[in-house]
């Protein structure tokens, strides 16, 4: 098994159990790799695994969330395209957010800078699109933050209620949340 196939499995483990809840035994069970094989791929252990997952997610944020916002098309169409990708990435609200699991407890100190940079690139792309659509910078930034807050909050609320409706509603409303129409 290669690192490229292990990292997506690690992503799902960190999403589901958070940093503190993921153990080497749990990783071994999920990947089918023994402890020695895991340390062969990740000599620095669980922290290195989490960092590689964050790098993987950062690339995904840029490829799937930011790129549609910077593509050709009207601002509304670009937001709609990004919203579809966000919905797919979170499996219509069935998958939890990695940010939640890697910012609790001691993990926050370890990963805050990486997570912050990834979220900032997404926020900036949303805000830039708002400015392009004619919003003042401050309003565009606030609305961008509100979108990301709403997405993350809807994931938590949907999971708590066992109802994906709140997440789907936020996804549907992303264009109007930024553009106001």
Per-residue pLDDT, 84: 95
Per-residue pLDDT, 50: 87
Domain locations along the chain = 47-179
Per-residue pLDDT, 105: 67
pLDDT in tens, 44-67: 988 899 888 888 888 888 998 999
**Distance between CA atoms of residues 33 and 173, nearest Å:** 42
Per-residue pLDDT, 147: 97
Short-list 39, 51, 61, 63, CA closest to 7 = 51
Cα Rg of the chain (Å, integer): 17
Q: What is the pTM of this model?
A: 0.84
The residue count of the chain comes to: 181
Q: Using 70 as the pLDDT threshold, list the residues of the chain that sit under it.
A: 101, 104-106
> What single DSSP character describes residue 67?
H
CATH 2.40.50.320 fits 47-179, yes or no: no
**Distance between CA atoms of residues 171 and 168, nearest Å:** 5
């Amino acid at each position: 098994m290669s690192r490229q196939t292990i990292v997506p499995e690690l992503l799902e483990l960190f999403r589901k159990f958070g940093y503190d809840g993921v153990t080497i035994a749990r990783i071994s069970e999920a990947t089918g790799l023994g402890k020695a094989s895991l340390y062969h791929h990740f000599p620095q252990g669980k922290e290195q695994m989490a960092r590689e997952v964050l790098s993987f997610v950062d690339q995904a944020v840029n490829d799937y969330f930011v790129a549609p916002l910077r593509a050709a098309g009207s601002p509304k169409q670009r937001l709609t395209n990004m919203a579809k990708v966000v919905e797919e990435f979170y499996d219509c609200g069935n998958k939890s957010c990695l940010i939640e699991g890697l910012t609790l407890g001691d993990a926050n100190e370890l990963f805050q800078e990486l997570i912050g940079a990834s979220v900032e690139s997404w926020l900036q792309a949303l805000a830039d699109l708002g400015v392009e659509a004619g919003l003042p910078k401050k309003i565009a930034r606030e609305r961008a933050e509100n979108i990301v807050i709403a997405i993350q909050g809807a994931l938590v609320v949907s999971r708590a209620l066992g109802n994906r409706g709140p997440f789907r509603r936020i996804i549907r409303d992303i264009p109007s949340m930024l553009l106001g129409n």
